[in-house]
């Protein structure tokens, strides 16, 4: 007897479609992130218009192809209109999201689905609006395993009446899918395509799948961002360590320190002994340092060893002030980032100054960033010479290069100086606190 052919029930067919849809999302996200130009766009949060357009078209073209495959071939799993438009807005801004929404909404509009275009554009604007409001790092914290911490986030939101962006960012695609289903039921599948769940629990599965279609690409791309930064840092590690040693422990500094020690051996042997201990500790820390990142607390401890030597050398002429926000002490910073700034202030700002010199190190948290200032009341330079000073020294050039490699082209050291009043070197980096240490 011939085998009986069994067709999938509507529920089973829907589940199969949703699983295929998630597979397509993962494959598309992985393929895009393999292109270097796409990874470079993901590395920075502040993108210019050409980068936004490249991002929109690189995401919009395959999404449009998926919509066309549904219209021409009837393959429903390839239609990612809602998730794709929302994701483009969430990562590249409202106009990029609207552009992707227009790209995926025009083919259905031509086919008679006249609600598809305004809905897709609206999803793009919704994602872009959340991007403008939410802290940028909270977007990259979205994960396909969001449900594991959802109850904790909801409890914090209710107990403290504090905005929890994880909940809001997850609620957005849920709300959009509910609107999607409502429009489909009201106007019919002829006016807007939507998955038609035959039961209530399958409707929940559809909503859950929509959230996964948004969070899976974010997880894949965020992993690629972290991997790319670590690879770039690995390439520059040896050069950065050599430049760091050159700029932080220069022959000029060693010569002056050894000269100070030799002059103190007879008159103040205990002071000379302490200088030797401090110098050996500083050299040992530098030569044994294999870590890319440290906490600000550890970075300041290394600075203290350096400043102890300079304080003994300069005596009462040098005054050190610190204004450190306790909340910034556990923030992760690139290792040996601040000492070139401190040495530059002492060597070029305070050493030529007549009278007491003051060096101030200050840190604050602001808008998801750590702001670290190294300020001196030294001789200063004019506006015309600020750029030359920043680009000319090995130490300052090293600081700028490391900031750009680690955090993107939009992050660099800011140098403000007034002749006769002093100089302020400012470093602004994204706020990151991690329990694990990152090392080479």
**pLDDT at residue number 40:** 80
Q: How confident is the model at residue 435 (pLDDT cuts 50, 70, 90)?
A: very low
Residues β-bridged to residue 361: 322, 374
CB atoms within 10 A of CB 394: 15
The whole-angstrom separation of Cα 211 and Cα 146 is 9
Q: Is the pTM of this model over 0.75?
A: no
Plot region of 164 (φ>0 → left; ψ -120 to 50 → alpha; else → beta):
beta
The whole-angstrom separation of Cα 364 and Cα 154 is 29
The whole-angstrom separation of Cα 213 and Cα 83 is 6
**pLDDT at residue number 154:** 61
| 230 neighbors 436 (Cβ within 8 angstroms) | no
pLDDT at 218 over 80: yes
* The two structure tokens encoding residue 56: 């929109």
What fold, for 236-430? Heat Shock Protein 90 (3.30.565)
Quick: pLDDT tens for 134-167: 888 788 888 887 666 655 656 666 666 566 777 8
Cα of 133 vs its chain's centroid, Å: 16
The whole-angstrom separation of Cα 33 and Cα 207 is 26
| 385 neighbors 393 (Cβ within 8 angstroms) | no
**pLDDT at residue number 100:** 95
The whole-angstrom separation of Cα 23 and Cα 213 is 9
**pLDDT at residue number 440:** 37
- Domain extents in the chain: 10-233, 236-430
* The two structure tokens encoding residue 145: 């395993």
Distances (CA, A) of 417 to 160, 240, 400, 426: 43, 26, 17, 11
Strands 318-324 and 357-366: parallel
Q: How confident is the model at residue 39 (pLDDT cuts 50, 70, 90)?
A: confident
Q: Name the 3-class secondary structure at 37.
A: helix
Cα of 63 vs its chain's centroid, Å: 26
**Roughly how many angstroms between the first and final C-alpha of the chain, as a whole number?**
67
| 328 neighbors 365 (Cβ within 8 angstroms) | yes
**pLDDT at residue number 245:** 45
Q: How confident is the model at residue 251 (pLDDT cuts 50, 70, 90)?
A: low
Q: What are phi and psi of 196, to 5 degrees?
A: -105, 95
* The two structure tokens encoding residue 405: 């490699």
pLDDT at 127 over 90: yes
The whole-angstrom separation of Cα 120 and Cα 98 is 8
Determine the longest span between alpha carbons in the chain, in angstroms: 111
**pLDDT at residue number 211:** 93
Of the two residues 276 and 386, the one the predictor is more confident about is 276
pLDDT at 436 over 70: no
**pLDDT at residue number 287:** 65
Distances (CA, A) of 106 to 72, 101, 186, 401: 14, 9, 21, 44
DSSP alpha helix (H) spans, 268-295: 269-288
Q: What is the mean pLDDT of residues 425-430?
A: 91
| 344 neighbors 312 (Cβ within 8 angstroms) | no
| From 74-83, 223-232, 381-390, the region with the lowest mean pLDDT | 381-390
The whole-angstrom separation of Cα 175 and Cα 193 is 17
Q: How confident is the model at residue 262 (pLDDT cuts 50, 70, 90)?
A: confident
Q: What is the mean pLDDT of residues 332-355?
A: 84
Q: Name the 3-class secondary structure at 319.
A: strand
Q: What is the DSSP string of 148-175?
A: GTHHHHHHHHHHH----HHHHHHHHHHH
Q: Which helix (H) or strand (E) holds 97?
A: helix 94-110
Nearest 5°: the CA angle 294, 299, 302 is 130
Q: How confident is the model at residue 408 (pLDDT cuts 50, 70, 90)?
A: confident
The whole-angstrom separation of Cα 303 and Cα 345 is 13
Q: What is the mean pLDDT of residues 209-229?
A: 88
Quick: pLDDT tens for 372-401: 999 999 888 776 666 666 555 566 777 887
pLDDT at 232 over 80: no
Of the two residues 206 and 397, the one the predictor is more confident about is 206
């Amino acid at each position: 007897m011939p085998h009986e052919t069994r067709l999938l029930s509507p529920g089973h067919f829907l589940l199969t479609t949703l699983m295929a849809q998630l597979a397509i999302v993962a494959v598309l996200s992985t393929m895009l992130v393999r292109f270097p130009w796409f990874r470079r766009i993901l590395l920075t949060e502040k993108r210019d218009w050409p980068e936004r357009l490249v991002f929109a078209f690189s995401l919009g073209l395959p999404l449009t192809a998926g919509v066309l495959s549904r219209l021409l071939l009837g393959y429903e799993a390839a239609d990612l209109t809602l998730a794709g438009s929302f994701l483009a807005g969430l990562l590249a801004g409202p106009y990029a999201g609207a552009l992707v929404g227009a790209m995926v909404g025009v083919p259905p509009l031509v086919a008679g689905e006249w609600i598809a275009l305004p809905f897709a554009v609206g999803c793009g604007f919704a994602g872009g609006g959340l991007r403008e409001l939410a802290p940028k790092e909270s977007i990259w914290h979205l994960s396909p395993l969001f449900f594991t911490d959802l109850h904790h986030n909801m409890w914090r939101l209710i107990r403290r009446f504090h905005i929890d962006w994880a909940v809001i960012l997850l609620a957005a695609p849920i709300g959009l899918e509910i609107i999607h289903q409502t429009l489909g039921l009201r106007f019919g599948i002829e006016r807007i395509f939507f998955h038609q769940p035959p039961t209530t629990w399958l409707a929940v599965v559809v909503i859950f799948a929509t959230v996964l279609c948004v969070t899976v690409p974010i997880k894949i791309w965020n992993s690629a961002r972290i991997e790319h930064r670590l690879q770039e840092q690995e390439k520059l590690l040896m050069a950065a360590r050599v430049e760091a040693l050159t700029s932080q422990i220069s022959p000029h500094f060693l010569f002056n320190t050894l000269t100070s020690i030799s002059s103190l051996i007879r008159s103040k042997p205990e002071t000379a002994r302490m200088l030797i201990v401090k110098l050996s500790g500083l050299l040992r820390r530098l030569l044994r340092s294999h870590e890319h990142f440290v906490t600000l607390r550890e970075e300041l401890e290394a600075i203290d060893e350096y400043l102890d030597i300079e304080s003994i050398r300069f005596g009462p002429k040098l005054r050190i002030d610190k204004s450190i926000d306790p909340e910034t002490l556990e923030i992760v910073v690139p290792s040996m980032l601040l000492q070139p700034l401190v040495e530059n202030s002492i060597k070029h700002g305070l050493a030529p100054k007549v009278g007491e010199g003051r060096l101030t190190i200050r840190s604050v948290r602001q808008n998801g960033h750590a702001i670290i200032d190294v300020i001196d009341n030294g001789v200063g330079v004019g506006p015309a010479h600020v750029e030359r000073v920043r680009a000319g020294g090995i130490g300052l050039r090293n600081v700028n290069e490391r900031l750009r490699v680690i955090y993107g082209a939009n992050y660099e050291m800011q140098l403000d100086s007034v002749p006769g009043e002093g100089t302020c070197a400012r470093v602004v980096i994204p706020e990151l606190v991690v329990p694990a240490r990152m090392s080479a």
